[in-house]
Amino acid sequence: MTYVLTFHPPTANLKASLMDEVKCIFEPQSVVLIGSSMLREKVGMTSPKLFSDVVYNMKKFYCGKTNIVDVDEKKGSVNLDSLPRIPDLAVIMLPPDDSIVQAEKCARMGAKALIMITGGYKDHQRVRLLRLKEKHGVRILGPNTIMGVINTANGLNTTFERNTMPRKGNIAVVSQSGGVGACLLDWACFYGIGISKFAFVGDKIDVDDVDLLQHLGKDRSTNVICLYMEGVKNGREFINESRKIAEKKPILALKGGITQESAHRAKSHTASIAGSDQVFDAAFKKAGVIRVENIEDLMNGAVALSKQPPMRGDNVAIVSNVGGPAILAGDTVGRNGLKLAALSETARRKIENLYPGVDASNPIDTIADARADRFGEILELVLCDRNVDGVLVINMLKSTFFEPADARVIAKVAKKHPDKPVVDVPAGGEDFALVHKVLVDSSIPLYNLPDKAVKALKVLRDRYRILEKH
Amino acid sequence: MTYVLTFHPPTANLKASLMDEVKCIFEPQSVVLIGSSMLREKVGMTSPKLFSDVVYNMKKFYCGKTNIVDVDEKKGSVNLDSLPRIPDLAVIMLPPDDSIVQAEKCARMGAKALIMITGGYKDHQRVRLLRLKEKHGVRILGPNTIMGVINTANGLNTTFERNTMPRKGNIAVVSQSGGVGACLLDWACFYGIGISKFAFVGDKIDVDDVDLLQHLGKDRSTNVICLYMEGVKNGREFINESRKIAEKKPILALKGGITQESAHRAKSHTASIAGSDQVFDAAFKKAGVIRVENIEDLMNGAVALSKQPPMRGDNVAIVSNVGGPAILAGDTVGRNGLKLAALSETARRKIENLYPGVDASNPIDTIADARADRFGEILELVLCDRNVDGVLVINMLKSTFFEPADARVIAKVAKKHPDKPVVDVPAGGEDFALVHKVLVDSSIPLYNLPDKAVKALKVLRDRYRILEKH
């Protein structure tokens, strides 16, 4: 059976249909991986080792069948023509010309989507590839995606990194750069950040940010969308689509290539034209996209958005068992256009009556001997205060009496106030790691330094403002 | 034998003598710890547990004798009056009034320095304590130092945190806040940062930043000085002393309490008056002190200064095995007032001849399959280029062929060019941790994201400008 679709100007129906094909990139019923156990290609990134690594990862796909086609026909490899079923998705990692030959075969057979791993394509090769979409309706991710996609929900992983499956979660990441994507993936795995999908878009000859946004906008396992982009082909479409999605789901973007010199580099990097930075800034604002400055802010903001509600006002309360870090947090609150909440007289009196010695002017000093009980009661009183829109908790272990397990109380109390964001800072290196172990599965975003937590609250505030506009 | 010194306006000799006493805070020949195995004091931070923790740490002091005086006279405790030798340094952790009684005893006996751990002092108690300096010439660190001091060279550690001795190195840290100090200490231990001395100054009734700067300026094991400060008592003296020291050793400062609201908090926190932020900014500039924005920048800048030379010009070369992160690094270079170096034609041609396919326009793409050899040869050519003042290397593992041990080549090549700084970015979470294990003992500063490495280069550039002025 061959699935044929002649190409004509997209109508609503066709677009919807083509979107079903995009879905196959992440949720195929059957997959074929086509590569070589012999070929080595430097620039484009294929090698026997890489092929075997992708094989290793793709065999873990558990919601359908994975077939492996080794064009050098080693043991265990199947023949593309004798597959029992037409694959929804073909993942192809061969040098460009060989890849195109295989892509043509798959498209003719009726595959709905192609992930083109390898890079190093020349323009005429890109054109040849794109023709397959026109002729067969197949959707193409790449070429030059290098790492392809990950879907934590069904175990699909086309990367060549072993043991880098992030934990399941609701954050989707779309990266134009293999390197930045790999860094985000490594970061997510290392810090236990919950991911729904990862997509490395590469040269974007067909499937682009807009297609992926459309898909992720509808994707029920995705609540937050992170973009790393160096350029965009159709700005207007990107803005329109983002605006629509941003009504329901937050979108964060990190833009690479903002200076003239690195923009030049971006151009040669993924064959995209890096627009002027101001244009992007304006576009992101219009699109309801929250722009961040670096990789860490992107992940930190995404974690905040995935776990906590938008912040309805500017007023931040700081509850801390140490003085200096609370002051630094207060400084950053000001720098980010937020305010230190002026606690109500009632709240202050209640806290100070309950714990003589505690200074209940914001930042609120719980004193270094505070354990779960005191933290919990003070946090509860602060969250009940109408003058407070969000809370930044600092619970260091070093120099205090606080124990990692005490941190559980923060999640418990925060849960009772689902309308106000709470973020936590077990400041430091080991202190962060110890509390992280306790709270990684909770709804509380964790940051290793106060200023990062404030920036995360700022993202939650930005998110509220975007929703207000709609 | 009682050591008496009447107080009169300081002359040069007396000042020098009093500085010898400051030295005893870090390098005593004999120490006595005075505390209680029974007393519990909430605000001031004493408890049987804390006392036993400090005992545990102080027994590891290996360059002299440590005596433990338990005022509740438990087994193993000695009597202060029957000490075989007058202690150079007394560390006292009792509630304020009890602490003062013990401090008076020690001062009368001839102790040269006191570290007053406990907080919660009222003004009249501070006055009583200060009188001991006037009467006996004893120098006082604190009160309210909470953690006291650490000297990695002789094992002296008066903190109550077990197993938090940082590795030996040449960075000294002076923190006005116990919390920020504890966070810096935790950070240093966790990331293997080499420390010479740590001092928690607390309320600064006597020994202050200026005294400590004077001491650390002369300290042969200290090459870099980090300050966290919320206020300063004698601005002019601080500026003069810093200027003098900055000729020889870099000083980095993080100032807490910059906004009006958090400044209010700072005031109640360590009884210091937080000056206007602009005044501090001007003072730091005048003093040759490099100001940083947060805890991570403080540590990152210090590591750069402790391992690499100042940067003689603005021109940064980026050598990277991934594209996107190099572009992000390039963006940050521009944001920090540095420039992407324009490589000389010779260097470019050499690199491109050696490795066809490598794009030698800056950022220089080594291509993802680069291993130690290629990295080393390209780094060597780039460092030889007179158009280059410093190099930022990015060597990710994920999505590339690079192995952690390959990173050794960076230290090897950098060593041949001691006049140009080289910093390294194994970007990510696990990637950073793996390369960190390989290079932590080397002369190469490591950063987990490109923008942090650029900021470190900026600190090295600032340092050069300060030296130029002198």
The residues near A35 (Cβ < 8 Å, ≥ 6 apart) are A46, A51, A54, A55, A69, A70, A71, A92, A93, A94
Helices (H), A87-122: 96-109
Q: Determine whether the interchain pair B398/A294 forms a contact, defined as Cβ–Cβ distance below 8 Å.
A: no
Torsion angle (degrees, nearest 10) of CA B295, B300, B304, B310: -60
What CA–CA distance (Å, rounded) separates A414 from B377?
A: 54
Q: Is some CB atom of chain B closer than 8 A to the CB atom of A270?
A: yes
- Cα B238 to chain center, whole Å? 18
From A294, A322, A359, residue closest to B328, measured CB to CB: A294
Amino acid letter, A188: A
Compute the average pLDDT of residues A16-27: 83
ipTM: 0.93
Residue A59: is its pLDDT beyond 70? yes
**Reading across the β-sheet that carries A139-141, which strands appear in turn?**
A65-70, A30-35, A89-93, A113-116, A139-141
What CA–CA distance (Å, rounded) separates B463 from B238?
A: 19
Q: Identify the pLDDT of residue A11.
A: 46
Domains of chain A: 1-145 (3.40.50.720), 166-307 (3.40.50.261), 310-469 (3.40.50.261)
Residue A268: is its pLDDT beyond 70? no
Q: Determine whether the interchain pair A295/B334 forms a contact, defined as Cβ–Cβ distance below 8 Å.
A: no
Burial zone of B229 (CB within 10 Å; 0-12 exposed, 13-18 middle, 19+ buried): buried
Q: Determine whether the interchain pair A324/B294 forms a contact, defined as Cβ–Cβ distance below 8 Å.
A: no
**Cβ atoms of residues B86 and B110 within 8 Å:** yes
What CA–CA distance (Å, rounded) separates A141 from B145?
A: 59
- What would the two tokens of residue B296 be? 């991570």
**Cβ atoms of residues A341 and A389 within 8 Å:** yes
Q: What is the 3-state secondary structure (H, E, C) of A283-302?
A: HHHHHCEEEECCHHHHHHHH
Report which of residues A73 and A456 the model is more confident about: A456
User: Angle at which helices B323-335 and B450-469 pack, to 10 degrees?
Assistant: 30
In this prediction, residue A42 has a pLDDT band, given cuts at 50, 70 and 90, of confident
- Mean pLDDT over all residues of chain A? 91
- What would the two tokens of residue A291 be? 């722009």
- What would the two tokens of residue B162 be? 């077990």
What CA–CA distance (Å, rounded) separates B54 from B150?
A: 12
What CA–CA distance (Å, rounded) separates A413 from A417?
A: 7
Compute the average pLDDT of residues A204-224: 96
Run of H or E including B91: strand B89-92
Q: State the DSSP code for A423.
A: E
Question: Judging by DSSP bridges, how do beta strands A139-141 and A149-151 pair with one another?
Answer: unpaired
What CA–CA distance (Å, rounded) separates B319 from B393?
A: 5
In this prediction, residue B262 has a pLDDT band, given cuts at 50, 70 and 90, of low
Residue B457: is its pLDDT beyond 80? yes
Q: Determine whether the interchain pair B359/A268 forms a contact, defined as Cβ–Cβ distance below 8 Å.
A: yes
Q: Determine whether the interchain pair B324/A175 forms a contact, defined as Cβ–Cβ distance below 8 Å.
A: yes
The vertex-A433 CA angle with B296 and A363, nearest 5°, equals: 60
Concatenate the DSSP letters of all residues of B18-56 into one string: HHHHHHHHHS-SEEEEEE-SS--BTTTTB-HHHHHHHHH
Chain A, nearest residue to B271 by Cα: A323
DSSP SS3 for A222: coil
Q: Identify the pLDDT of residue B41.
A: 79
Q: Determine whether the interchain pair A428/B183 forms a contact, defined as Cβ–Cβ distance below 8 Å.
A: yes
Q: Determine whether the interchain pair B265/A363 forms a contact, defined as Cβ–Cβ distance below 8 Å.
A: yes
What CA–CA distance (Å, rounded) separates A397 from A411?
A: 17
Residue A10: is its pLDDT beyond 50? no
Concatenate the DSSP letters of all residues of B357-376 into one string: T-B-SSSEE--TT--HHHHH
**Cβ atoms of residues A130 and A207 within 8 Å:** no
* Residue A180, min C-alpha distance to chain B (Å): 5
- Mean pLDDT over all residues of chain B? 91
DSSP SS3 for A178: helix
Compute the average pLDDT of residues A180-203: 97
Chain segment B267-317, per-residue pLDDT in tens: 555 545 445 788 889 999 999 999 999 999 999 999 999 999 999 999 999
DSSP SS3 for A303: helix
Percent of chain A beyond pLDDT 70? 91
In this prediction, residue A3 has a pLDDT band, given cuts at 50, 70 and 90, of very low
Tokens 């007023």 — which residue?
Answer: A315
- What would the two tokens of residue B332 be? 């940050």
In this prediction, residue B165 has a pLDDT band, given cuts at 50, 70 and 90, of very high
Compute the average pLDDT of residues A207-232: 95
Residue A12: is its pLDDT beyond 70? no
From A179, A186, A189, residue closest to B323, measured CB to CB: A179
Cα distance between the two ends of chain B: 47
Q: Determine whether the interchain pair A186/B398 forms a contact, defined as Cβ–Cβ distance below 8 Å.
A: yes
Where b means 16+ CB within 10 Å and e means fewer, B99-115 reads bbebbbbbbebbbbbbb
- Cα A42 to chain center, whole Å? 29
What CA–CA distance (Å, rounded) separates B371 from B410?
A: 11
Q: Which of A17, A33, A470 is nearest to A211 (CA)?
A: A17
The residues near B410 (Cβ < 8 Å, ≥ 6 apart) are B375, B376, B379, B393, B395, B422, B424, B439, B444
CA distances in angstroms from B78 to A149, B162, B179, listed in the order given: 68, 23, 32
In this prediction, residue B263 has a pLDDT band, given cuts at 50, 70 and 90, of low
Q: Identify the pLDDT of residue B17.
A: 60
Q: State the DSSP code for B74.
A: -
CB atoms within 10 A of CB B382: 29
- What would the two tokens of residue A240 be? 């329109």
Chain segment B375-399, per-residue pLDDT in tens: 999 999 999 999 999 999 999 999 9
The residues near B402 (Cβ < 8 Å, ≥ 6 apart) are B321, B370, B371, B375, B395, B396
User: Angle at which helices B323-335 and A178-190 pack, to 10 degrees?
Assistant: 90
Report which of residues B205 and A13 the model is more confident about: B205
Mutate one of B149, B399, B431 to test the A interface: name it (highest A CB count within 10 A): B399
Q: Is the preceding peptide bond at A421 cis, omega within 30 degrees of 0?
A: no
What CA–CA distance (Å, rounded) separates A119 from A125?
A: 11
Chain segment A66-103, per-residue pLDDT in tens: 899 999 876 666 788 888 788 999 999 999 999 999 99
Chain segment B46-75, per-residue pLDDT in tens: 889 999 999 999 999 988 788 999 998 766
- Cα B307 to chain center, whole Å? 13
Residue A450: is its pLDDT beyond 60? yes
Report which of residues B140 and B44 the model is more confident about: B140
Partners of residue A273 in chain B, C-beta under 8 Å: none
Helices (H), B322-362: 323-335, 345-354
DSSP SS3 for A21: helix
Chain B, 334-363: which have a CB under 8 Å from a chain A CB?
334-335, 340, 357, 359, 361-363
